[in-house]
Structure 1
């Protein structure tokens, strides 16, 4: 027995094939029967070969601390410090996280290496020296240095280092060259 609904759908699909030039008019009946048979076989659903895939070993979540960062055991995000705010996004407090993953307080953050400068390399010391030597107010130091032809205190320090002289000598030299 022919299902009229499937036959109508098959005929419409065959006509579409005819309109687009994929099928010649003389083949319309054969193509319609072929489409009908395919649609009828799909009515019950396709035959699918189902075989179970082997179980993949899921790596347990773990907290990890490296020299550069701390990796959250829950989401894998890397931070310098696992903050309360981040852990709250997982619905945990800092103490609960530390207990759950057996983490010590010292392993919740990494030390950030900071380069500290001292002596004449310290920008604050350089600013103080310029203020004292040239009687410049603190808020005017940057303008004073740029007026002398340098790109701020960093540019002044770099130029002084390159010429192997102090910043005051360099500023005094640029003041003398401007007078000439």
Structure 2
């Protein structure tokens, strides 16, 4: 007898939770996301769509994630495919046919906003302050104007 989508989603979530530490909230979110992906695949399978079309559009067709919520404490979620990273890179976005500038424009991020996890951004800020990077930059700009 074929498994129900909820059973398959639960099995996938259980397997994922056994390999990585996840909070209850993350498990619930992962379960919902997995169920939606399985449901989309089932619908595409029933209509006879190709697997390439399915993999390209599955995450976008799901209940879209708010762009502001895609940048989290320890990860950034790609709004196109749903993969999780410490930082979204131009190399990854190139696979989707976008540049960093186009991605920011498409999802409403400002040009100065970092597409990196909050902890990574905070760590970089702390190092810059400790090394006096801001003061060195001010001095360099002053000397450039004088020269």
**TM-score, shorter chain, exceeding 0.5:** no
Q: Taking structure 1 as the reference length, what is the TM-score of the superposition?
A: 0.29
User: Which has the larger Rg?
Assistant: 1
User: Relative CO higher for 1 or 2, CA cutoff 8 Å, sep ≥ 6?
Assistant: 2
Q: Which has the higher helix share?
A: 2
Q: Taking structure 2 as the reference length, what is the TM-score of the superposition?
A: 0.35
